[in-house]
Structures are given as C-alpha cells and as structure tokens.
Chain A
Amino acid sequence: MEAAYQKLVRLESQLHPEGVQRAPLWQFVLWLGFFGTVLLWGVYAMFLCWFKGLNQTNMNDYYGFALWIWADLAVIAVGGGAFFTGLLRYVIGKDPLKYIINYAVLIGFICYSSALLILAIDIGQPLRGWFIFWHANVHSMLTEVAFCLSCYFGVLCIEYIPLVLENRKLDEIPFFHHTAHNFHEVMAIFAATGAFLSFFHQGSLGGVAGVLFGRPFAYRPEFYIWPTTFFLFTWSAAACGPCFTILVTKITEAITRKKLVKDNVVELLAKIAGWMLLTYSIAKIADTLYWGFVMLPKHGLQITDFYTNASLIYTKLGGVPWILLIEILCSVIPALILVSKKGRQSKPALVVAVLLGSMCAMINRWVMVLQVMAAPIMTFDQFALYFPSWQELATTVLPVAYGVILISLSHRYLPVFPQERELNPV
C-alpha cells in the first residue's frame, strides 16, 4: 500500500513544473476533496434549478434579477484584470507584467466561465439560450453582453490553452510545444481583440442597467448612444480587475507560503490600478451628483426618494445612503493608497487597498442590480423583501469552489508563476 502510494507520488511529481516544490499529494487531495464537496453541492443545486425550474430560487416578479446576476456582474468586473493586464502587457508594452499575466488570464478564465455558467442557470428556458444569438435584437444591451462575453471567453481559452500545453509532460509532445510557442508569438493580436471585446461587454453590462428609462434609480443620461454607466463599468473593471488579480496573488502566496511574484511587478500593476481607481472615483462621484441633482429632478424625483423613502431600509439607518457611501469610499481609499509609493510598498496597506478595490466593483454591481430592483417606482408601490434560497447560495458558491480547484490544479501542474523558481530555490 505504502509502496503503491510512493509510486503514485513519484508519477504525479513528474507532472509538476521543473525546479519547484509542491505540497504533499495527500494534502493536495484533501484540499481538492473539501472544495470538490462544495462544488458538488453547487452542482446539485444547479441541476435542481435546471430540472425543476427557477421556483427553486427565492426570486420573484419584483426581483427578476437577483443574487446570480449580481454574482455574474461581480465576477466579470473583477475578472477584468485579465483584459486590462493583457492590454498593458501586449499592446501598451508594460513588460514586467509578463510575470503576472498568466495568473491574470487564469483568474479571468475562471471568472468568465463562471459567469457563463451562472447565466445558463439563470435563464428560465436554458435550452433556448441560443435564441439570444440567433434572434438577436441588436438594440438590447444584453445581446451585446452575450455576444462579447462569449467571444471574449473564446479569447481567454486561447490565452489559457498555451499555459496548459506548457505542462512539463504535455510540452514534451512536439505539436503541443509548437502550438504553445506559436500562440505566444501572436498573443498581442488576441490580447487586442480581448480588450476590444471587453470594452464592449463590460460597458454593455453597465448599459444593461443604465438604459432602463423606466427605472430612474439606474437610468443615466446618454452619452452619445451609451449611458454613462457603460463607461463607468468598463473603467471600474479596468481599475478593480487588477486589484482582484493582486488580491488573489497575495492569497495564493499566503496559502502556498511562497513568494510567487516579485514586488516590482505587483507594485507596477498596483500603481496603474490606483490611478485608474482615482480617476474612476472622480467620474463616479460626478456621475452620482449629476444623476441626483440634475437627472432625477427632470423626472420629478429627488435623490432622497431613494435614500429616505419610508419603504426602504435606509430609514432604519437614519436616512444615510450607506451603500453609496461605502461604494465611493471603496474607490477613494484604495486609490489614495495605491497612487502613493509608500502605500504600495507597505504590504498590509497594499492588501487592504486591493481588497477594498475588489469590493468597490462588487458593491457597485450590487447597487446596479439589487437596489435597482428594490426601489419602487410607482408612488403607491411597496418595497418587497428578497432573501436568496439555499439553491441560489449554493450555485453562487459553486464558482468560488470551481475557481479554487482550477487555481490549485493550475498552480500544481502548470508554470503559472514564471518567477516562482527564482524566488523559491529548492
């Protein structure tokens, strides 16, 4: 038994990248087992939703968009690190980012595959999902989302495949070796295409809420043909995505107890994210002020309608628009930390900043989904309460478990971090 296990360990270790140390196999299997169980729980809930329908959720006619759509928008926003890092690395030429681009791509791949899965669970008639392509209404923001999201997922697959082919054993096969090498040679074209597609799908996700002229809480005046949320979403994804990439890198380093990326690389990405966040927060504040004091009065509303309305939960908090305040603070504070050299170089400050930066996008997406649904529009309509069912929670946790598993497998078998060997000599 012992001998068989040792043999298995030996065989398995041949799949590891050269010159790096990995956790013992039993530990890895236990780790996978735990997250695999969570994954199975999510998969069970997913099949319940597919076979029994969306009555398995606590969504209702007042909350047609709920937890899943938030999760969908949130993972796409924080997955924006992939396109933005790719743009910086391949198109703008920020060379040091080549040491973190693999991980950014992997995180993006996980986020986008999760987003597509969530969408497949979320629609009432999953077998008709292809109608969005076939019978496309080109004027709908959701159509733009579906097309660009699917295409960009294709780009992410193209970016991720070479990394898989660089597995030590796969790389020994000449065709795979050539394919990985050749993909890298033309990667700038794919990265540019990815940035193009991301600009439109991140933006159109913002547009999904921004064009709802029947929902003054979400509606933003049009800037040419797009609502301002179109640009704010793209901008925030480019700002918060890299924060999430750094955050996950730091978490991975903490779990593996290894330094995986050099500080100068992280600091460069953090600095760019900081400036993006700072400009984003200015734009966001300007947009909020314009909405609250120019747009809403045009529709006969006041900003206080959404924050002191007796039917909303804010009353209990003294009429303070706390979610809005947290959202703005989550962009301003990390921005100020990350644009200062001292802030970036202090590890605790950096971690706090990237955590807040990631939360910034997540809270913004929460507001643009759940609060939009929650705010009653007709003056006599009532505020309805929604709390997700376990099936919704399980299917929302599913991508997290899936992400942990894919990161674990990729880290163990693929050369995700090019600087790992240098930073951790065996």
Chain B
Amino acid sequence: MFPFSFEWHWDMSHIVFMGGLWYAICIMALGVNYVLGKSFMQTIKGDSGHGHDDHGHDGHGEHH
C-alpha cells in the first residue's frame, strides 16, 4: 500500500493500481475538506444559509 512496505515494487502494476487508489482517495479527501472548510467559514461569518436559493440540491431534500 505504501512505498515503504516491502511488497512494494516500482513497477507498472503498482503505479497503475496504487495510483488509481491514491487518486480517488485524494479527490475524496480534498472534496470533504473543501466542504467542511467552506461550511466552517460560512458559519463563522454568521450566514444562516436559510435564505439562499436551493439550486443544486433541489433533489435532495425538502425546502430549507
């Protein structure tokens, strides 16, 4: 899983497989951090958020 574990070889299989894996994990981690960070900033700014329009998540719940 990591280059320092002894099974690791710098070969095509490891680069493609682990590359894909770490790519997906990075996207998820960045996405979650972006959302949490943005939400935190909005909360600090005191934006209640209940006034904004609902585009983008109209399918996800009821009206806010």
A135 at the interface (CB under 8 A from B): yes
Between B7, B28, B34, B42, the greatest number of chain A beta carbons within 10 A of the residue's beta carbon is seen for: B28
Q: Quote the shortest CB–CB distance from B49 to chain A (angstroms).
A: 5
Fill in one digit per residue for A176-197: 1 if any B CB lies within 8 Å of its CB, else 0: 0111111111110110010011
**A421 near B62: Cβ-Cβ < 8 Å:** yes
**A144 near B17: Cβ-Cβ < 8 Å:** yes
* Residue of B13, B32, B48 touching A174 (CB-CB under 8 A): B48
Give the residues in chain B near A174, CB-CB below 8 Å: 42-43, 47-49
| C-alpha gap A148/B17 in the complex (Å) | 10
Q: Quote the shortest CB–CB distance from B64 to chain A (angstroms).
A: 7
**B35 near A415: Cβ-Cβ < 8 Å:** no
Give the residues in chain B near A137, CB-CB below 8 Å: 7
**A418 near B61: Cβ-Cβ < 8 Å:** yes
A101 at the interface (CB under 8 A from B): yes
**A181 near B1: Cβ-Cβ < 8 Å:** no
* Residue of A155, A184, A196 touching B60 (CB-CB under 8 A): A184
Number of A interface residues at 8 Å Cβ cutoff, please give it.
51
A166-B61, A177-B50, A179-B39 as given contacts; A184 in contact with B56, CB under 8 Å: yes
**B31 near A186: Cβ-Cβ < 8 Å:** yes
Fill in one digit per residue for B21-45: 1 if any A CB lies within 8 Å of its CB, else 0: 1001101100110111011101100
| C-alpha gap A402/B7 in the complex (Å) | 38
**B59 near A183: Cβ-Cβ < 8 Å:** no
Fill in one digit per residue for A94-105: 1 if any B CB lies within 8 Å of its CB, else 0: 000111011000
A136-B7, A190-B31 as given contacts; A151 in contact with B60, CB under 8 Å: no
**B62 near A418: Cβ-Cβ < 8 Å:** yes
Q: Quote the shortest CB–CB distance from B23 to chain A (angstroms).
A: 9
Give the residues in chain B near A162, CB-CB below 8 Å: 57, 60
Q: Which residues in chain A, 397-426, are within 8 Å of chain B measured between CB atoms?
A: 414-415, 418, 421
| C-alpha gap A187/B28 in the complex (Å) | 11
Between B21, B43, B48, B50, the greatest number of chain A beta carbons within 10 A of the residue's beta carbon is seen for: B21
**B5 near A418: Cβ-Cβ < 8 Å:** no
Q: Quote the shortest CB–CB distance from A391 to chain B (angstroms).
A: 32
| C-alpha gap A231/B4 in the complex (Å) | 33
Give the residues in chain B near A171, CB-CB below 8 Å: 64
A89 at the interface (CB under 8 A from B): yes
What is the interface of chain B, defined by CB distance below 8 A to chain A? 1, 5, 7, 13-14, 17-18, 20-21, 24-25, 27-28, 31-32, 34-36, 38-40, 42-43, 47-50, 52, 56-62, 64
A-B contact pairs, 27 of them (CB 8 A): A17-B61, A89-B59, A98-B60, A101-B59, A101-B60, A102-B61, A135-B5, A136-B1, A136-B7, A138-B17, A139-B13, A143-B17, A144-B17, A154-B28, A158-B31, A163-B61, A171-B64, A174-B43, A181-B39, A182-B42, A184-B56, A186-B35, A189-B31, A190-B31, A415-B61, A418-B58, A418-B59
Taking A136-B18, A184-B57 as known contacts, 12 extra A-B pairs with beta carbons closer than 8 A to each other, sorted by chain A number, are A135-B1, A139-B13, A174-B42, A177-B48, A178-B42, A178-B47, A178-B49, A182-B34, A182-B35, A182-B38, A186-B34, A193-B28
